Amino acid sequence: MSYVGPDSQPPRPPRRFTGGPLTVTLAALVPTCLAGWLIYEATSGPGGDEPARTLPATSQSAQGSSPAGPSSSASGKDDGKGDKGDKDKASDEPSATKPPKSSSRPAASGPLKGKVVVIDPGHNPGNGKHTAEINRLVNVGTHRKECDTTGTSTNNGYTEAQFTLDVSRRLRTLLQSQGATVKFTQDGDRPWGPCVDERARIGNDARADAVVSVHADGSAAGNRGFHVILPASVKSGAADTSGIVVPSRDLGERIAGKFLSATGSAPSNYVGDGTGLDVRKDLGGLNLSTVPKVFIECGNMRDSKDEALITNGAWRQKAARGISDGIVSFLRG
């Protein structure tokens, strides 16, 4: 069949081709190439100068690659965060290996769990600078006496206040390791005091199961050894020890026995007739207490042999151990 149009020319004689299979192949490829060119035009950019397209930053991060195109800082602006800010933020998140900053160490468990012990380190390192305050009189039931004193010291200047804080802190560690709740009347955290009546009140308000006031004596040279002071039966004014005399003696006897065993120190050779126990009614810290309480004089700071012990850290650790063992024995019955 032939088509003859207005611009047509007379038909030419047909040409004969010998490469028939090649003609068929070309005819088949033309539509395919045309279709590919149309798809390219529809999807490509306006020209070869356009920057290569990149995936959004979040997609690239997910794939673990860095951006192929301009970074967020290409504009010349700095938001002040960057990678460091992201790391800091991540470090604040709780994890299995790093507890939150607000977490606190759980209370220790042990045989003294639920027990409250008040430790009363005698005197205060700052008392000497506050003589007017510590010299004022307070009511201790049977009479009025000084708020507090400076305490004694060794001949070489190691003060009783330093000694009592050191032993008390060692004692606290030992008791806390067994689960006790330990409170101090002072921990070198106040300029002076407290007064003897306040010291008693701290133990009372804490409803302590036991209170121990730690001291060292200032007697004459040659007087050696420790002794534990127990409350006498007193009922006068604000003082009423009737409810604590018996349990306080039990506490004191146990501390005396354990202190002797732990330190090897002998009971006092000048107080208590060799028992290491002394009963007194003139101490406001005992008179005003409503919970079991004793004092311990760990040795005589004015005797050179006792001084050698008192100024030795290893011995002070033994002293703390002896007091702790006595308290534990008392609280466990």
Domain-by-domain residue ranges, the chain? Answer: 116-332
Query: pLDDT tens, 223-276?
Result: 999 999 999 999 999 999 999 999 999 999 999 999 999 999 999 999 999 999
Q: What is the pLDDT of residue 31?
A: 52
Are 193 and 148 in contact by the 8 Å Cβ rule? The answer is yes
Query: Is 50 labeled as catalytic in the residue annotation?
Result: no
Give the HSE-up count for residue 210: Cα atoms under 13 Å, Cβ half-sphere: 34
Q: What is the pTM of this model?
A: 0.69
Question: Phi and psi at residue 124, in whole multiples of 5°?
Answer: -165, 135
Q: What is the pLDDT of residue 66?
A: 34
In 188-276, which ranges are continuous DSSP H helix?
Answer: 196-205, 245-263
| C-alpha to C-alpha distances, 168 to 149, 187, 276, 283, nearest whole angstrom | 18, 9, 20, 20
Cα 97 to chain centroid distance, Å, stands at 18
Tell me which of 160, 198, 253, 297 is the catalytic residue: 297
Q: What is the pLDDT of residue 303?
A: 98
Residues of the chain with pLDDT under 50: 1-19, 21-26, 30, 33-34, 37-106
Q: Which CATH superfamily is domain 116-332 in?
A: Zn-dependent exopeptidases (3.40.630.40)
Q: How far apart are CA 97 and CA 102, in angstroms?
A: 15
Q: What is the per-residue DSSP string for 144-208?
A: EEES-----B-TTS-BHHHHHHHHHHHHHHHHHTTT-EEEES-SS-SSS---HHHHHHHHHHTT-
Q: How far apart are CA 137 and CA 81, in angstroms?
A: 63
Q: What is the pLDDT of residue 109?
A: 86
Comparing CA positions, the residue from 161, 248, 264, 170 lying closest to residue 212 is 248
Cis peptide bond upstream of 194, omega within 30: yes
Q: How far apart are CA 140 and CA 143, in angstroms?
A: 6
